[in-house]
Amino acid sequence: MNSINLSECAKACVLCSLTCTSCAHLCLDEDSVEMMRECIKRCLDCADICDLCAHAQQRNSPFTKEICELCAKMCDYCAEECSKHQMEHCQQCAEACRKCAAECRKMAA
């Protein structure tokens, strides 16, 4: 059987995508959901870009470097918003985004 090897960047992207998706879902359950609107939008966008980035790496896409650069920017954008909120899920999301951005920058270098 062949084994699948994931780069640290791809692992960070998958974890970030799942964390962002969870954060968006949990934000929808907050009492002040209107206040969470921007957080939800950024988390969903970030999850999509992280998925794309992980898939591009696994396919050895010729655009991996550019996608990693975009993913790092999107993760920074999401972390900026999530870090404004005190909920644990937002803080965890911000941390996952920061780690993913760092790994994407390494991959793009």
**pLDDT tens, N- to C-terminus, the chain (109 residues):** 555 677 899 999 999 999 999 999 999 998 888 899 999 999 999 999 999 999 999 999 999 999 999 999 999 999 999 999 999 999 999 999 999 999 999 999 9
pTM: 0.93
Q: What domains sit in the chain, N to C, each tagged with a CATH number?
A: 8-108 (1.20.1270.360)
Alpha-carbon distance 19 to 66, whole Å?
Answer: 23
| 25 contacts 46 by C-beta, under 8 angstroms | no
Tokens 């780690």 locate to 99
Which residues neighbour 96 within 8 Å (Cβ) at sequence distance 6 or greater? 12, 15, 16, 19, 20
Taking the alpha carbons at both ends of the chain, their separation in whole angstroms is: 32
